[in-house]
Structure 1
């Protein structure tokens, strides 16, 4: 039987690594990790688990075509390039991956994306280049002729430690984020659980035309709450005081414009119920914030 290979970009990172884990556990598909450095420690750990690791650079389309040969599907994520480097931005990388997938005969393409904040805010905020570039790739993918689906991602709950949003204080902890006050509502996902759940649901159903997966954009939302409520639930999980405070700007214009835009205009996934019923209907099982706090925050921050 021919293996159903899913080539995964970002396999040594948070999103792609979680998808590789889910594919290995599920067993329906065989993950292939695409990386610039197959000899990195993270790559070696994947190899030790039996994962095929293939070298390719998203700036080099020829290397991508070779790496994607024999893949049934692609899970593609690119990292923000801030400040943007000419010829190496996410828009260039994403387009190269799309072109290579098409040339290699890939049957289905999953793109994790963000919307244009310039469009979302009617031109008020134009400098969040990581949003603009991902939207460019989304539009390019849509016009490519490849069967595909786009995952629109909100805030990452893992940023409590990855970005240091949860910090120790004399009496407990504080959560801080720029621009947002304690009552601003934000959409979140637990990346390590919810992105793989969505990706697997799409991979299992894309070939069934009755499911109408092709060409669709899915907002991956599992948690919707204010930062004040997040602090309250975190305090309950840890058994200590947890407060919320509005943090200072980051000093990076694209990132600060992102926070300002979302605080003023609301989260771009807010029209979608949490969890997304379309993904639930495809079999995706999403987590609650209580699940996340119990499994991830208590072991990291609990006494």
Structure 2
């Protein structure tokens, strides 16, 4: 029986590694990691798990065609290259994403799942235009939809894992502080439990894309676990770990892309208010979303409790 290979970009990052592990555990598909350096420490750890690691550079389409040969499907995430550059100014997510799509077509891939973001410039009617990491992902998503490949895109909110990965929870004399730019105590944020539910959504799409009755191709799926304020999130963390967790509004960072991102999320309630939480389209495909309480119990308490 021919292996149903799913090649994964961003294999050593949060999303890609989580998808690879889920594919390996589920067993329906054979995971293949695409990495710029197959001999890196992170890549060697994937090999130790029994995952094939193949060399491929998202800025080099030729290398990607070779890396994707034999793949049935792809999970792709592009990564911002700092400082952020507009189209034509140098390497950026547009180059990465379009190379991935073009290489997948050339290699005969049948289905392409892209971790994307909506255009903040479009949502805000042109008020916020500096979030190039959102704009470029959105352009790649449209490029994918027009490519002729069967495809689906996942739209993510604020990563719950950033509580520790980006140090959002900072120790204080009495507990912790959760300081976020632009957000007031009542502004809502859309939160995504990346390691749990990005793989769950990806697997559901992979298992259903060949079924014409599900009609998943060409759609964008918000993967949101909760839409709540940071103040409520802080209070629930505090209750879970038994110490005071305060929410404060942080000053702007001085980086336009980052500051406009937070401002837009605060102004537009996390960007995804048009889709109920949990997403009924993904629930219909069998995705069982995690809850904030489950996240606090399994992730926050062991780290901060």
Both structures adopt the same fold (TM-score exceeding 0.5): yes
Note the C-alpha offset of 1:265: 2.8
- 2:196 pairs, out of 177, 193, 197, with 193
Rounded to whole Å, the distance in 2 between the matches of 1:147 and 1:8 is 16
Rounded to whole Å, the distance in 2 between the matches of 1:159 and 1:182 is 19
Note the C-alpha offset of 1:247: 1.2
Rounded to whole Å, the distance in 1 between the matches of 2:254 and 2:295 is 30
Note the C-alpha offset of 1:82: 2.9
Rounded to whole Å, the distance in 2 between the matches of 1:59 and 1:39 is 19
Unaligned 5+ residue runs, structure 1? none
> 3-state SS of the aligned residue for 1:233?
helix
Partner of 1:38: 38
Rounded to whole Å, the distance in 2 between the matches of 1:159 and 1:9 is 21
* Runs of 4+ off more than 4 Å: none
Point out the more displaced range, 126-135 or 241-250.
241-250
1:291 aligns with 2:294: yes
Point out the more displaced range, 266-275 or 147-156.
266-275
Rounded to whole Å, the distance in 2 between the matches of 1:224 and 1:191 is 15
Partner of 1:109: 112
Q: How many residue pairs were aligned?
A: 302
Q: Deviations over 1:151-207 (max 9, x none)?
A: 011110001111111111111111111100121111101100010010000000000
Unaligned 5+ residue runs, structure 2? none
Partner of 2:28: 28
Indicate conservation of the 8 Å contact 2:190/2:269, yes or no: no
Q: Say what the alpha-carbon RMSD is for the aligned residues.
A: 0.9
> 3-state SS of the aligned residue for 1:229?
helix
TM score, norm. by length of structure 2: 0.97
Rounded to whole Å, the distance in 2 between the matches of 1:257 and 1:63 is 35
Partner of 1:223: 226
TM score, norm. by length of structure 1: 0.98
- Match runs of 1:226-265 below 5 Å: 226-265=229-268
Partner of 1:175: 178
Q: Deviations over 1:86-135 (max 9, x none)?
A: 33100110000000000000000000111111111001111110011001
